[in-house]
Each structure stands twice: as C-alpha cells, then as structure tokens.
Amino acid sequence: MTFGKPGFALMASLAFYPKASAADVAYFACLGTLTTASNSQDSALQEEPWTFSLAVDFDKNAVTIDDTSMPIMSDASEPIVGFKDDPTVDPSLDGFWGGFNTVTGGINIHVRAGAIFTGTCKRARRDEIKSP
C-alpha cells in the first residue's frame, strides 16, 4: 500500500494531534533551548538545553509540564493549545505562558521576563516520560 502526499500529510498530522487519540490525556517528551537575556550589556544571550514532559489533559482543560499544571487558555480543539500560569495556584510562575502546536509538535514558552524556551515535542507513552 502506498500513500500519496495528501494521505501522508494527514497521517503525519494525526501523529501529533492529541484529539486523534482515544485517551483524554496526550503525553509528549519535549526538548529545546532556553534562551535567557543577560542583565549586563556586555554579555551575550545565554542558551542552555531544556527537556521536560508535557501532558495535555482535555478532561481537566490543563497542560502539565513535568509536575506543574496550568489551565489551557485557548479552545483545546484547535491545533494550537495556549496555556498560562494561574498565579492564585502557584505564585512562583508569575508570567509563565506558551503555546503548543499539536500538528507540528513545536512549542514556545515565555518562562519569565527575559527567558524564552523554543523546542519540539514528540508523542510518548506515559511510562516513557517523567511522571507529572
């Protein structure tokens, strides 16, 4: 059996799209770069690798990064899932927000002022990632 380009594109997009799964929680292993601006004008941007687990829970309308959950702020049925911290639940995350593209696996997170994460996530089984 061969797949034409449209068939392959559809199958590839369903590999990331969490709603394609029968489960209400989709798990991902993510990796990328955390870029932090320096307070000094003489220093360049600092970049460091960052890996984490991501769970998108449609029943709870929440995203969990490692062990920290936050609400989904967008329509969870759309390809881009937007999320933002809830300072009333965890004041330490003030200003933490981001977006996850369920089609491509791309993720961008504003961690705090001057710190941005850019990376990709790949579908994973729950037992393959850190427990949320």
Task: Pull the structure tokens for residue 16.
Answer: 């990331």
pLDDT at 57: 93
Q: Quote the CA–CA distance of 88 and 92 in Å, as a whole number.
A: 10
Lowest mean pLDDT among 2-16, 90-104, 114-128: 2-16
**How would you list the strands of the sheet with 68-71, edge to edge?**
68-71, 62-65, 46-57, 25-36, 115-123, 106-112, 97-101, 80-84
**How far, rounded to the nearest angstrom, does the alpha carbon of residue 109 sit from its chain's CA centroid?**
8
Q: Which domain holds residue 101?
A: 5-128
pLDDT at 81 over 70: yes
Give the mean pLDDT of 43-56.
Answer: 91
Q: Quote the CA–CA distance of 40 and 53 in Å, as a whole number.
A: 32
pLDDT at 127 over 90: no
Domain total in the chain: 1
Phi, psi of 20 (to 5 degrees): -70, -15
Q: Quote the CA–CA distance of 21 and 25 in Å, as a whole number.
A: 8
Report CA-CA distances (Å) from 37 to 93, 120, 129: 18, 21, 29
pLDDT at 19 over 70: no
pLDDT at 42: 65
pLDDT at 119 over 50: yes
Whole-number mean pLDDT of the chain?
Answer: 80
Confidence category of residue 99, pLDDT binned at 50, 70, 90: very high
